[in-house]
Amino acid sequence: MTAAIARIATRPIRIPLLRPWGPDVRDLSVVEVEVEDADGAVGWGFSWTPTIGAAAVRAHLDHDIRAFALGREAEASAIWAPLWTHLHEGGSGGITTIAMAGLDLALWDLAARRAGVGVTDLIGRRHETAAVYGSGVNLHYPLDELVAQAARWVEAGFDAVKVKVGSPELARDVERITAVRDVIGPDRRLMVDANQRWSLEQAERAIGELSAFDLAWIEEPLRADDLPAHVELRRRIDVPVALGENLHTRHRFAEFIDAGAVDVVQPNTVRVGGITPFLQIAGLAADRGVDLAPHLLLELSAQLALALPGEHLVESVEGASFEALGALAAPAPVAVTGAIASTTGQPGLGVRFSDELTDAAASARPTEDL
C-alpha cells in the first residue's frame, strides 16, 4: 500500500511576463505545492492562475485541502474524487479545482519520482513527439507586430498558428487575419480565439466573415458557461468550435460534447484539477470522437499529449513557457525543436520553480503542517 501523506507545504510565486498580455496581466501567479509521504518521498506540483485568485487558491490548499489530505494514501487517483466531493460545497470548479491541481500534480510527481521515470512514462508513453502550434496573446499588438509574430512562427516551422480576435470593430479583425493568412500562406492551419468576447449574434456575423480565411477552429466565441448559445451557434456556422479552458469538471465537458456544441475540447490541466481529471476528460473525448488540444502550460501539456492515443496539438504561447520566463530551477521537462515537442528525461513532472522566485505580496516562506 502507498505511504500516507505526512506533510503539505505551499509557496506563492509571481512570474513576470516578458510582455504583458494586457493592461492588467503583467505576470503569472503560481502556488507551488510540496508533498511528503510517511516514507520521506517528496513530490512537487503547482496551481496556476494568471491574475485572479492566487491567494484564495493558496488558502484553500493550506486549510481545507491539507486538513482533508493529511494521513490519507499518497495516491492521486485514490484521493481526487473524495476530495472533490468534500470540497464541493464551496464550489465544483474554479478555485476548488485549481487548488486541487496543486496536490494532484504533486502526487503524480511523487509517484513518478518514486518509480524513477517521467510522468509521461508513468502514465504510459504512446508517442516520442507531439506537434506544437504557435500561439500569441496578441489582440493588443499593432498590426505590424502581429505580422512580425506570424513571420516568426513561419520561420520556426510551425504548421499551425492561433491569433486573437474580438476587436471592438469587426473590420479590424478582418484586416489582421487577412495579414496573418498572407504571411503564413494557404497551407498552414489558422485558428482564431475570441476569448468569450462575442454575443451569439456577434459571433455568427464575425465567423461568417472570418470563415473566408479557412479557419481550423474558432475558440471560445461565446461566454464559456452558456451551453444553449453554443449549441445554437454550432447549428448556424460551419467552422469547428474549440473550447474548454474555462470548463472545470468532466461533467461540464460531457454536457458540451453530448449537446454537439464543440468539435475540439481544450482542458487546462490545472483548471480541471490536475492530471487525474485531465485523463478522464481525454478518455471522454476519445469515446465521443471529439478532438482534444490541451490548453497552455506547455511543459505539462506536451508530456500528457505524449501519453494519449492519437495525435494532439500542443499550444506554445510565444515567450510564455516556464522555461522562456526563466522560472525553472532545473532543465525543462519538454524541449521544442521547430514545431515538435519531446521530453528531456527529467524525473517526475520535471517542473521545479526557482528558489529566487516569490510573491512579494505574500509570505516568502512556504506554509506547512506543523
| pLDDT at position 271 | 97
In the predicted structure, residue 370 carries a pLDDT above the cut 70: no
The alpha carbon torsion through 35, 39, 41, 45 (nearest 10 deg) reads -20
- Note the helical H segments in 157-297: 170-184, 200-210, 227-236, 250-258, 275-288
Residues 131 and 218 in one domain: yes
Residues 252 and 130 in one domain: yes
Selecting among 164, 230, 248, 312, the annotated active-site residue is 164
Question: What is the average pLDDT value for the chain, to the nearest integer?
Answer: 95
State yes or no: is 164 an active-site residue.
yes
Residues 112 and 34 in one domain: yes
Taking residues 317-331, what's their average pLDDT?
A: 95
State yes or no: is 251 an active-site residue.
no
In the predicted structure, residue 365 carries a pLDDT above the cut 80: no
Residues 28 and 167 in one domain: no
Please write the tens of the pLDDT for every residue from 261-273.
999 999 999 999 9
Residues 97/275, Cβ–Cβ less than 8 Å: no
Residues 67 and 211 in one domain: no
User: Domain span at residue 98?
Assistant: 5-116+354-368
Residue 342 has phi, psi (to 5 degrees) of -145, 160
Residues 176 and 303 in one domain: yes
Residues 172 and 291 in one domain: yes
pLDDT band at 21 (very low <50, low <70, confident <90, very high): confident
Selecting among 60, 162, 230, 295, the annotated active-site residue is 295
Residues 95 and 171 in one domain: no
Taking residues 61-67, what's their average pLDDT?
A: 98
In the predicted structure, residue 180 carries a pLDDT above the cut 90: yes
Asked if residue 349 is part of any domain, the answer here is no
